[in-house]
Structure 1
């Protein structure tokens, strides 16, 4: 692209992103237009000059409605689901010192099955058949949590005859009612917060509730209450593995409530699926590494006594119910030739044991 024309509308960049199999498009002031492909962020055109403030403002105006534009002027940032450029996107626009920054997460309209995503289906399916309890999907930003969650919800939609309610910020995948009746609510659009939506949800007689993100005390508390009172709750957290997830859930609560919460979690938790997407050996895609914790009596005991540090050991002995630690999952991918030794070492928790594994 020699003349470096700044395209007139964000849709033109988004179309490119879809064509080249990207996960995100970045249009930021003082940085050239960029995309994230297979986990790597790089400029779309290597010699494109950085975008100027007036160019990003024009691009922002090209797709923001009056309501969104007013909100960004008032609040300084917005997140919402944008439909355009051949599909759905999770759009985030922020106003910063130099100008506007826009990031678009490309949402595949096709909901993938558990098999296509590569989830440990035989051990996850039993968890989805409980009438109540809590299933957590965790991982860093961009680790494919939404995709996995959508695959699981879609499986429940086909497998059961119930009422599913999803609370999302924003709605990413659109579910059509199959065996189940599905209602989707968007935070900020249909309700003011996850906590408010969850409180309302309990009056709508749902069997399954999907909470897009359990980010604060009130939401976590309500999700636990819902899981205890006869609802199957699916939620996501930005944590790396099962012990850290449980610590995160418990640490949100005031100290005097923790013992009671530990008992609640030990009784209502069904399982935790932690995941990360690892660049493959060829460098032209990514593979899914998953850790699965299933709540057995031994796991419940560790949670009740606040000994989450003992969980990796318990998980080692729980292979028969499908438990696997992230390190084991990464080693399997390395043995299969799917990921490099460098990636294995970089991503493993127990570096010393991984080093000796690589040297053996």
Structure 2
């Protein structure tokens, strides 16, 4: 089996992901569901050949040492892909994510105008959140591209791995990859603050050290964009605080109340009709005096009411977003009922 042909086929079928494991057939994830796309049973030699073709030399030792490795690469006539190679039952398996060759605009992704407008304020921490597979990387890339096209700024990205490649436009963009250009997120952020940045992009905030450094960078006056695999605005802020030891949590609440600019939490809604189309809905929180007080005082339950009352200022709860999509006939009544958290009169 030729891995490049498989990837090209996935791109033609508008698949988001490819799963390749020994002893079974190839599968593509299309509209959120795994689909069998071939009757060929994958052999150990098949996946070994695929890994040898895709794996960069710099990642080979990591795979041998850990039994899994993440990397990104470019496939001619297809574009960028992110690959996770892992061992299972003594054989290689591959999970491959495909990225669009052309970056979509925020409008094409359904991102409200208020989010793009907030980008131009140039300070504070912008968080893009959502479950795995909800499109966070694409949303983050689309917002970075807006900055690239409209602002004369220095942007430094710290990524694991580099997923989208940016070409210098109005902005100067330097992209650094963990394990190749810098040892860790925390060290990359620390170095970035000495490199005269206007915007620091961190692909993921996984640990206490990188979260601490990101908040410090935002406190220092930089714009910080990052993503987290958390569902919902309130869960995101709870996660950022709870990851720290109890004795540090109040200090983090205070810092976060000052540093946070916005939390954009997204969820992919899958239509229950024959199309199985997916469309993104966005919960949006912008920081203001009332939001900052709720974070400082650990009254996060109040944020939902604050978002409800600030629709005219661009905020919205997830239920607001889903109901608005129903009114605009972007989704069906069945989809509205399935994804709404509270009963909504129809």
TM range (shorter): over 0.9
Matched, 1:10 2:3: yes
Specify which of 290, 314, 317 is matched with residue 322 of structure 1.
314
Contact 1:12-1:85 within 8 A present in 2 as well: no
| 2-structure distance, mates of 1:49, 1:110 | 32
**Structure 2 unaligned spans of 5+:** none
2:315 partner SS: coil
Deviates most, 341-350 or 258-267: 341-350
Contact 1:168-1:185 within 8 A present in 2 as well: yes
**Which residue number corresponds to residue 25 of structure 2?**
32
* Structure 1 pair 286–90 and aligned structure 2 pair: CA distance change class (3 A): same
1:56 partner SS: helix
Deviates most, 320-329 or 61-70: 61-70
Specify which of 260, 269, 280 is matched with residue 288 of structure 1.
280
Specify which of 82, 90, 93 is matched with residue 82 of structure 2.
90
**Structure 1 unaligned spans of 5+:** 1-6
Superposition deviation, residue 284 in structure 1:
4.9
Matched, 1:275 2:295: no
**Which residue number corresponds to residue 334 of structure 1?**
326
Matched, 1:100 2:92: yes
Contact 1:30-1:98 within 8 A present in 2 as well: no
Q: Which structure 2 residues correspond to residues 214-229 of structure 1 after superposition, within 5 A?
A: 214-229=205-220
Say how many residue pairs are matched. 344
2:304 partner SS: helix
Query: TM-score under structure 1 normalisation?
Result: 0.91
Query: TM-score under structure 2 normalisation?
Result: 0.94
Specify which of 25, 43, 58 is matched with residue 36 of structure 2.
43
Q: Render the CA deviation track for 1:161-201: whole Å, top value 9, x for unaligned.
A: 11111111111111111111111111112111111111111
Specify which of 135, 138, 143 is matched with residue 147 of structure 1.
138
**Which residue number corresponds to residue 205 of structure 1?**
196
Q: Render the CA deviation track for 1:54-90: whole Å, top value 9, x for unaligned.
A: 3322322232244433331221011011222532101
Specify which of 47, 60, 70 is matched with residue 79 of structure 1.
70
- Root-mean-square deviation over aligned CA pairs: 1.7
| 1-structure distance, mates of 2:328, 2:150 | 32
Matched, 1:69 2:48: no
Superposition deviation, residue 113 in structure 1:
1.3
